[in-house]
Amino acid sequence: MKLFLTSTIAVFALFISGGCPKSCGMQTGVHFVSPKDGQTVPETVQLQFAVDGKTVRPAGEDVYDQTSGHFHLLIDEPMGYTETGIVVGEDATHIHYGKGQTQATVTLSPGKHTLTLQFSDGAHKSYGKDWAQMITVTVGGSAQ
């Protein structure tokens, strides 16, 4: 009984410290609901985003709350994510969804593109690689 109680306490302590979710099989991070990786899409493509393990909130709200944030879309970003703690830039290929949006429409040129979904805090500071997902889509041909 003592061993069981000690093991249970250790697992619980690891979980609340943030060290367990992925290793314990719990889903955390961001992902594209659509499109899917490798999909052929039209030039104007509908995107849907999701996050597990944090709450979506508009930028500026709870700036220092590390349990919430909002999405950014990085188009053809060579690194594939923004380093932890770095403010995600904003331009034609770094799009902020600071109102807490979980879907958007973007227009892409024909060809192959990488799309990275990056989750960031209320001050636009990136949660890093663990809170990013990169997919590749091809624009043109027949959309799947």
Q: Across all residues in the chain, what is the average pLDDT?
A: 84
In this prediction, residue 19 carries a pLDDT of 44
In this prediction, residue 1 carries a pLDDT of 52
Mean pLDDT for the stretch of residues 129-142: 91
Q: Could you report the per-residue pLDDT of 30-86, keeping only the tens digit for each?
A: 999 999 999 999 999 999 999 999 999 999 877 777 899 999 999 999 989 999 999
Domains, the chain, ranges and CATH?
27-139 (2.60.40.10)
Measured distance CA(124)–CA(115) in Å, rounded: 18
Percent of the chain clearing pLDDT 70 (strictly above): 77
Long-range contacts of 60-66 (CB under 8 A, 24+ apart): 60/98, 60/122, 60/123, 61/122, 62/122, 63/121, 63/122, 63/123, 64/121, 64/122, 64/123, 65/121, 65/122, 66/121
In contact, 55 and 68? CB cutoff 8 Å: yes
Mean pLDDT for the stretch of residues 81-95: 95
